[in-house]
Amino acid sequence: MRLLSTSLSLLSLCISASLYASETKAPQEQSLERIIVTGSRVAESMDEVPASITIITQQALQEQLKINPELQSILGALVPGMAADTGSSSNSSQTLRGRNPLVMIDGVPQSTPLRNGALDIRTIDPSAIARIEVIKGATSIYGNGAAGGIINFITKKSQSGAPVNGEVNVSSRFSAVKLEESAGARFSGAVDGTLDKFNYLFVASYEENGVQRDAEGDILGLQYGLSDSVTENYFTKLGYDIDADKSLSVSYNFYRSQQKTDLGDVVNDINTGTKTYAIHVPKALQKQGKPQGPDGNENVSIKYIDNAIFGDTQLTVDLYSQKIENVFFYSPRLANPDLGLDGGQSIIRSEKSGLRSTFNTQLTFSNTEATFIYGVDLLNDTTSQPLVDGRVWVPEMDMQSAAGFLQTKWVFNNDFIVKAGVRNERIDLEVDDYSTLKLCTSATQCSTAVDVKGDTLEYRATTYNLGIKYNWSEAFSPFVSMSQGADISDLGLLLRAATVSDIADIQTEAAIIDNYEMGFRSQFESTRFEFAAFRSLSELGTSNKLNPQTGVYEPLRAPQRIWGYEAVISHDFSRALQMTASYSFVEGKQTSTDTYLGSRQINAPKGTVNVKWRATDRLIVNVDGIYVGDRKRFDPDASGKYGADQGPVDSYFVVNLNSNYQFTPKLSGYVGIQNLLNLDYYPSRSQSYAYGSYNVKGLGTTVNLGVQFKL
């Protein structure tokens, strides 16, 4: 509350001061395809960014939404270097370049880096998103948690200019292999408008899934499953243009997605090549505990912009708060026979409040344009992981963060760009005295509870970035860059696995990740090509390993080296036919032992192809192919079994299709088909995760039929 009060006061001062600023004309907007906001926190042309960027436009988002409404699936299909669809509600293993990304909504962090539960991608419905910006490689521009980069969901805003405008979407998704119980229903609607200086937007979506079936017609296993899940999202954004330069907006988002089912798993072992699937079972054998999934996550943000706070300087102030409650599945690994408990269910709770102030000063010299981006970030993040039965697995961690930053950009002769920046982060994290849990995988295999003395941990980090880009010609535009990120590696995991009596003795140092990258972009008449190669180094590492005695993950703070490359090519055969293809490869090792990293970090190679055909003025057809390659870096043990995330991945190729037909200017119908050829396969994560109940097959042929009506 202290931080929130201070933030409100600062916001009020910024607004009051700016009301007396001189009026100048707001800068002209550029097309979305040429804009990137996330990388340096202000709008700039993509041609001036020396880094790998993927922008998922609203059109591409809507095309994928016709196939599958899950953001994990959409990102897996469209972002090079990110693992393909996991087929579940969890984005575990969907790393960026072998490290966890920071997921945000309009710059508000959704990830819980203090206790990463890998549920941060499913925090908003795609119907509320205007575009998605993905910056790859470690960065500290938004603070802790961006070891692999940034995924920023940019929400919609009112753009109609009319007093009332809107649209309604209704669809049903079902298995084409076995229809029984698989049909679901989805509704989304939006209304927006402009009234003089006031603009508004309301978006609502509601979806009920039926059971999800594989290529043989069996129900997919329930480990982070989506069968019988109910998802609802409500988003609103209100804006007011104070004058030509100054504007104020307020947004709110509510998201809930929980699985409520009478099914139970038939658990098998991936090491024997048999799948886990679900069937109807008596109540005593059904999933115990609360429904799993996000239970009412909320975001509130206030944004104030003054395009002329003084001189040639723009001010942006973001004040935000966020509340997350992610409920996990009931697990026998959380048992304690001494307390009469045969298992348990955990919840990650996180509350954040923060203030970001960003100044953007632009100066022009002889043949040189200079941009200075600077400001202060304040953040309070309180995160814990209790169990539903009242036990505390991860104690409350109260983090206070303050950071100052400076980012500069120099454009010489309109074609040579140099970017350099620095950020200084000061973090104080308070943890009270606590006791680790005694957890038992059997009556004789238990961890030992440890009383741990709490303390206030201090982190101080200064990180740098430097990038150079030369727009030599449209045919060849090369760049090189170095960027650093400071990452507090899943501190909650360290605390719950503590084996010492004083928190000061736990290896909690922040990991500094160094990301090096080089690449180029080429644009010809009808062909565009992009290539980037990268190398990521860290002395402490950011991974963990499974303790087979307790079944609990423990930190692995060993140095790591990750490397790889990405390539994207697009070609317009004609106005009616376009194709885009990509290929990405990533690999990594623990450098001290020269051993490969497991699949929780390193994805199998991935290739994608998209063909867009405008058959008529009314009919558009898109065909997507997703290829996942082999990755076989580990040997089985003497019994023929593989380690926790070290299973071999065999290649597979999935084809999806979507089409849209425009009946009238206001009415259209669409169909999406996931796994068009009904491939019988295990997703890469199911193949490589050799523990638990992750050995679930991919979706069989699934059809989505819908209509859209614009008001």
* 468, 480 contact by CB (below 8 A): yes
In the structure, what pLDDT confidence band is assigned to residue 314 with cuts at 50, 70 and 90?
A: very high
Q: Which of 589, 572, 592, 588 is nearest to 580 (CA)?
A: 572
In the structure, what pLDDT confidence band is assigned to residue 544 with cuts at 50, 70 and 90?
A: low
Instruction: State how many domains the chain has.
Output: 1
* 68, 675 contact by CB (below 8 A): no
Please tell me the predicted confidence (pLDDT) of residue 27.
35
Please tell me the predicted confidence (pLDDT) of residue 331.
86
In the structure, what pLDDT confidence band is assigned to residue 371 with cuts at 50, 70 and 90?
A: very high
Res. 28: pLDDT tops 50: no
In the structure, what pLDDT confidence band is assigned to residue 643 with cuts at 50, 70 and 90?
A: confident
Please tell me the predicted confidence (pLDDT) of residue 549.
52
Amino acid of residue 301: S
Average pLDDT of 265-283? 88
Lowest model confidence (mean pLDDT) among 5-19, 66-80, 245-259, 604-618: 5-19
More confident position, 499 or 533:
533
Average pLDDT of 14-29? 37
- What is the rounded CA–CA span in Å between residue 407 and residue 473? 26
More confident position, 509 or 297:
297
- Note the pLDDT tens digit of each residue in 230-246: 999 999 999 999 999 99
In the structure, what pLDDT confidence band is assigned to residue 542 with cuts at 50, 70 and 90?
A: low
In the structure, what pLDDT confidence band is assigned to residue 35 with cuts at 50, 70 and 90?
A: low
CB atoms inside a 10 Å sphere around CB 450: 15
Please tell me the predicted confidence (pLDDT) of residue 666.
95
* 140, 113 contact by CB (below 8 A): no
Please tell me the predicted confidence (pLDDT) of residue 439.
86
More confident position, 79 or 46:
79
- Note the pLDDT tens digit of each residue in 138-185: 888 888 888 899 999 999 999 878 899 999 999 999 999 999 999 999
In the structure, what pLDDT confidence band is assigned to residue 299 with cuts at 50, 70 and 90?
A: very high
The upper half-sphere exposure of residue 101, i.e. CA atoms within 13 Å in the direction of its Cβ, equals 28
Res. 29: pLDDT tops 60: no
Please tell me the predicted confidence (pLDDT) of residue 552.
46
Res. 500: pLDDT tops 90: no
Average pLDDT of 185-211? 96
- Tokens found for residue 422: 């620095």
Please tell me the predicted confidence (pLDDT) of residue 493.
83
- What is the rounded CA–CA span in Å between residue 339 and residue 335? 9
Please tell me the predicted confidence (pLDDT) of residue 397.
95
Average pLDDT of the chain is 89
Backbone angles phi, psi at 580, to 5 degrees: -130, 135
Residue 514 belongs to domain spanning: 2-710
* 542, 556 contact by CB (below 8 A): no
**How would you class 689 by CB atoms within 10 Å of its CB: exposed for 0-12, middle for 13-18, buried for 19 or more?**
buried
In the structure, what pLDDT confidence band is assigned to residue 505 with cuts at 50, 70 and 90?
A: confident
Average pLDDT of 526-532? 95
User: Radius of gyration (Cα) for the chain, nearest Å?
Assistant: 25
Please tell me the predicted confidence (pLDDT) of residue 17.
39
Give the domain CATH number at 95.
2.40.170.20
Average pLDDT of 612-623? 96
Q: How far is CA 223 from CA 256, 278, 353, 670, in A?
A: 18, 10, 32, 31
Q: Which of 286, 285, 297 is nearest to 258 (CA)?
A: 297
**How would you class 636 by CB atoms within 10 Å of its CB: exposed for 0-12, middle for 13-18, buried for 19 or more?**
middle
Res. 272: pLDDT tops 90: no
Res. 646: pLDDT tops 60: yes
Please tell me the predicted confidence (pLDDT) of residue 511.
82
In the structure, what pLDDT confidence band is assigned to residue 491 with cuts at 50, 70 and 90?
A: confident
In the structure, what pLDDT confidence band is assigned to residue 270 with cuts at 50, 70 and 90?
A: confident
Please tell me the predicted confidence (pLDDT) of residue 672.
97
In the structure, what pLDDT confidence band is assigned to residue 528 with cuts at 50, 70 and 90?
A: very high
- Tokens found for residue 459: 């982190």
Res. 545: pLDDT tops 80: no
Which helix (H) or strand (E) is 470 found in, with range? strand 455-470
The upper half-sphere exposure of residue 251, i.e. CA atoms within 13 Å in the direction of its Cβ, equals 26
Strands 527-538, 511-523: parallel, antiparallel or unpaired by DSSP?
A: antiparallel
Res. 626: pLDDT tops 90: yes
Total length of the chain: 711
Start-to-end C-alpha separation, the chain:
43
- Tokens found for residue 26: 């707001």
Please tell me the predicted confidence (pLDDT) of residue 1.
44
